[in-house]
Structure 1
Amino acid sequence: MPTRPPHYRCLADDIEQKFRSDEYLPGQQLPSVSEIGELYNVARSTAYRAVKELHERNLIYGQQGQGVFVADS
């Protein structure tokens, strides 16, 4: 029986799909971790791990005091 990926990875995949469909454009600021948690009705820790996953995929970058932004493709 195949195992399901962790919830944070599914969330990261969903956000990545929004990049690919141009819902979020390069350079555009993403919602905060708290806002992502509220939008997806998940715990802040799950939203944080999803954002971390996107960063590890080099799909986003952070700017101190500014927020997190979509990286150029």
Structure 2
Amino acid sequence: MPTRPPHYLRVADDIEAKITSGEYAPGQQLPSVSEIGEIYRVARSTAYRAVKELHARDLVYGQQGQGVFVAGAEQ
């Protein structure tokens, strides 16, 4: 019986799908980690791991004190 992926990967995969579909456009700010936790009903630490995963996939970049943005626009 296959196991389900960890929650943070499911959240990261869903956000990646939204980026790919254009729902989150290049340069657009993502919801905060706290908001992602609320949207996906996961712990803040899980939402943080999902955002770290998106960084590892080079889909987003952070601006100190401003938030996390979709990559693809001028960074």
How many angstroms does 1:12 deviate by? 0.2
- What is the aligned length? 73
Which residue of 2 is the match for residue 12 of structure 1? 12
Alpha-carbon offset, residue 11 of structure 1? 0.6
CA distance in 2: counterparts of 1:54 and 1:72, whole angstroms:
13
- Find out whether 1:36 has 2:36 as its counterpart: yes
What amino acid is the match of 1:23? Answer: E
Q: Which residue of 2 aligns with 1:53?
A: 53
Whole-angstrom CA distance in 2 between matches of 1:20 and 1:53: 15
- Cα RMSD (Å): 1.2
Question: In structure 2, the residue corresponding to 1:72 is in which secondary structure?
Answer: coil
What TM-score results when the alignment is normalised by the length of structure 1? Answer: 0.94
Q: What's the % identity of the aligned pairs?
A: 79
Q: Could you state the TM-score of these two structures normalised by the residue count of structure 2?
A: 0.92
| 1:5, distance to aligned residue in structure 2 (A) | 1.2
Unaligned runs of 5+ in 1: none
Give unpaired runs (5+ residues) of structure 2.
Answer: none
Q: 2:3 & 2:40 partners in 1: Cα distance? A: 22
